[in-house]
Amino acid sequence: MNSKPVDFLSANAQRLEVAVSTSLAVDRVPTELEIFGLASALRKIEMYAVSDQEFDIVIKKLHVALAVDMGVGSYVVNEHDPWLQARKAQINPFYWGRYKTDLIKQGWGAKVVNSLDKVTDEILDLMGNPVGKSGWPRRGLVMGDVQSGKTSNYTGLICKAADAGYKLVILLTGTLESLRRQTQERLDSGFVGLDSSGVVYSNSRNRKRKEIGVGLINATRSAGVFTSTVADFRATTVNQLGFRLRDYNEPVLLVVKKNKKIIENLTEWLKDFNAESSGKIDLPLLLVDDEADNASINTSPKKATAINSGIRTLLNIFPKSSYVGFTATPFANVFINPETTNEMEGDDLFPRDFIYALDAPTNYLGASAIFGDESRVDCLQEISDAEAAFPKGQKSDSPVDCVPDSLMEAVKCFLVANAIMDLRTGMPKHRSMLINVSHFTLIQDQVKDIVDFALRGVQDDIRSYSSLKVSEAIKNNTINELRDIFVKHYSNHGCTWEQVQRTLATAVLPIEVRSVNQKSGGASLNYALYKENGLRVIAVGGNSLARGLTLEGLCVSYFYRTTQMYDALLQMGRWFGYRVGYEDLLKIWMPEETINWYSLISEATDELRGEVRRMQLSRLKPIDFGLRVRSHPDSLIITARNKMRDSESIVHTLSISKESLESARLLSDSNAISSNHKATQALVKKIEASNFQVDSKYDFPVWIGVSKAVVVEFLNNFISHPLNLKLQSKDLADFIGGSNDSKLDSWYVAIPRGSVSAYELSPGRMVSRRSRKIEVDLDKQSLLVNEKKMRVGSAADEKIGLKESDIVEAEQIFRENPKNKDKKNVPGKAYNEVRKFPLLLIHLVWPEFGDQKYTPLSADSSLVAIGLSFPELIAGSQKMTYQINMVELRSLLAKEVSSFEGDEDEDENVDD
């Protein structure tokens, strides 16, 4: 029988790990020999002496940590005078120094810590100089990835700002108390050094001190903290202390959630007890706005929303203020909402001074690693049986009598994964599973009760049978089902079923099922209470689990939510992050349509980060990037939601230069299907009657030099789905018809080959059809072309009309980007870099409806989807403007919007 692995390293082993990590070069990945040689030499010293077993664990951890790298990111900036380098000699890096040491103690690699040092220096330098008189106020934004370590970035930035002379730091978290509490814990550990939950306030200012985190490294100084893990800002508490900002020698931290009343109370207290006769406070303020796209942004064209107004009022009383927003959603409406450039520039929270795009460390597991064309992990499981339990249109008080079989399979997968993790070394103490199937609290609670009842039965059987021989144990249904799960999902993961079965009792019996919503309260996921042995939890929730909150040790997720809102989907993805040592155990259950949306998001976010890099090289400004995002083909999905309540229509500007657009969502209406087919027949007849040249090198119809007028007529006749926001055919027709760009005068038109038997599209013209799986969504009158992850065509289609030399050049341009060096496939859009003529693709689709009851087409017809690819256009015609009918859009998207924006009430907990 194997001995139990060592999970917790001794003090000597921890010192050895830190010593090796900090001593080796940070400009490259050290060799295995260098790591082993230095560790072996240090091991001979008494304070680093360790057992052979611990030494092996230390070496393995060092190999992982020292191989991780992180870039320094990219940024666009307005005019600014750098100041940090000139002040470096005068700044004592007390707060940063101990935080840096703490990160290395936590196992951060030296290269990553070095990169974080550079990144936070760059961001600090873009902020205001706290001892300077000019250049204020400053407004910036930092873009990271979901669960990628933004907290570490802004903790490091806060430490450096405090060292440089910022007097007050206000950290705004999301709207939920659970997230505020979690953020307070992290700042207590990384910046303050004291456990705020143990602080007792009284008139004599006595404190019950308990050093944690950086306080265990050096407790000679400590920032003042006047919020805690127990309570948000309360004016009465601070007033009892007779506290004034100027009385305190150290910087002061407040961690405050975005609640209208709390922000107002904080502003009033600051003015009443700290302002000068002018009503201003002449102390440097750093306001860090975490989840900056959530609640902070003004989404009303008539009057500033309450929290947006509150933040701006708070900033206004500090003449020397730096506002730095952090967001993981680069489509954030901070860029998109204003209708005019003037309003955008005038918005006090628009990041007019700088926008910084962080690079995630190489071991970060993000959207492209899971959902990209070349995904790094194989973890996706399709949900196809949840409709009965969670039907569309489910009400807040609908009864839930059972849960899908796929959900119970996911739960059992979590149990087995826990056992495997217990057989490995260096695994996280905390283990979590996510269940997110509804935004309704009552439905979440019912699901929690059903799963809890089932889990208790499983735990009883494990207690009774798991210690038996395998041959005897599997006679019990529960043990046999768990073995089947192991065989299906984890049989090649470095252990046997016999080992897993022996570990089941210690791995599974501690697991609990908890609701995480406003009814249950944020404390339901307080990992800090379980520091010694860890919390193992199945968390059932909705919006409380959808933004900011970290699920520690998350390894299994069950996600049944339908939305196409990019920011909503990204924020709901709590599985993004770091899974060092158990990345192979990760499992995510979700519907196929949702998988496809995440694939699109992966592309769109990568593209926008690339835009920051390009704009940095071109020395463009934040306003240029803001306008670029506003005109991105995907941006309207965010804009539409923000405008939905107040607008009858909105005008949208779309950038189409070097873009590829597709109609992946088709109308399910039979008249529309028939009309689009007839429009295609008319197009082919007109092309052939006009004797446009046929490109003979293709074995399917490709016409050269088709006139703009013919293409415009077809687009006017083609009926687009209202939710196909990237491709509205009639608006495209108006734009192309009215453009004076000569590049749009002559077109390639192609009907790419398919695998389904040919039929006569027009007299004498036989064409084959492309087989595509179609998802039917009658609620939105939609047929979704899901194959190839919501793509109708393929990358090969985008090569049509290009010379071989053009194709080689496009692929070379793509490969020269360092971000693409490890990608096997060149995406279709890359070929637009060298395109000289626009391309219209006609996709004749033969639908595969699967088990869905939907009337198929006749043998002599097809669904018609279209694609358009544009070359680089002249500056004056790169963007098209069109009007969206919000009444129509609202009726189609209303359920999605309410589903994400939530049924869960705001967490008030407001005192005075």
Q: Mark whether 113 and 214 lie in a shared domain.
A: yes
Q: Mark whether 255 and 318 lie in a shared domain.
A: yes
Q: Mark whether 182 and 231 lie in a shared domain.
A: yes
User: Parallel, antiparallel, or unpaired: how do β-strands 512-516 and 693-694 relate?
Assistant: unpaired
Q: Read off the pLDDT of residues 412-436 as tens digits, 9 standing for 90 and up.
A: 999 999 999 999 887 889 999 999 9
State yes or no: pLDDT of 484 exceeds 80. yes
Section 860-865 average pLDDT = 89
Let me know if residue 235 belongs to a domain: yes
Q: What is the mean pLDDT of the chain?
A: 82
Section 110-126 average pLDDT = 89
Let me know if residue 738 belongs to a domain: yes
DSSP state of 818: G
Let me know if residue 99 belongs to a domain: yes
Q: Mark whether 425 and 398 lie in a shared domain.
A: yes
Q: Mark whether 27 and 98 lie in a shared domain.
A: no
State yes or no: pLDDT of 878 exceeds 90. no
Q: Mark whether 50 and 80 lie in a shared domain.
A: no
pLDDT band per the 50, 70, 90 thresholds, residue 29: low
The two tokens of residue 534 are 């860890």
pTM for this model (two decimals) = 0.70
- Considering its fold, how many domains does the chain have in total? 4
User: Parallel, antiparallel, or unpaired: how do β-strands 587-590 and 380-382 relate?
Assistant: parallel
Q: Mark whether 408 and 547 lie in a shared domain.
A: yes
Q: Give yes or no for a contact between 478 and 458, defined as CB atoms under 8 angstroms apart.
A: yes
Distances (CA, A) of 349 to 280, 289, 314, 321, 344: 19, 10, 12, 12, 9
Q: Mark whether 109 and 49 lie in a shared domain.
A: no
Query: What is the pLDDT at residue 202?
Result: 37
Domain C-terminal end among 67, 93, 111: 67
Cα 762 from Cα 750, distance rounded (Å)? 15
Q: Is 429 exposed, middle or buried (0-12, 13-18, 19+ CB in 10 A)?
A: middle
Q: Read off the pLDDT of residues 571-625 as tens digits, 9 standing for 90 and up.
A: 677 888 778 888 899 999 998 878 877 877 777 777 777 777 777 777 777 877 7
Q: Mark whether 403 and 450 lie in a shared domain.
A: yes
Let me know if residue 641 belongs to a domain: no
Q: Mark whether 187 and 278 lie in a shared domain.
A: yes
Let me know if residue 257 belongs to a domain: yes
Domain C-terminal end among 503, 535, 559: 559
Query: What is the pLDDT at residue 903?
Result: 38
The two tokens of residue 763 are 């007299």
**pLDDT over 90 for what percent of the chain?**
35
Q: Read off the pLDDT of residues 441-477 as tens digits, 9 standing for 90 and up.
A: 899 999 999 999 999 999 999 999 999 999 999 999 9
Q: Mark whether 345 and 491 lie in a shared domain.
A: no
Distances (CA, A) of 678 to 323, 478, 564: 56, 58, 30
Let me know if residue 580 belongs to a domain: no
Which residues constitute the domain of residue 43? 11-67
Domain C-terminal end among 357, 374, 394: 357
Let me know if residue 628 belongs to a domain: no
Section 75-87 average pLDDT = 90
Q: Give yes or no for a contact between 563 and 779, defined as CB atoms under 8 angstroms apart.
A: no
Let me know if residue 299 belongs to a domain: yes
Q: Mark whether 59 and 91 lie in a shared domain.
A: no
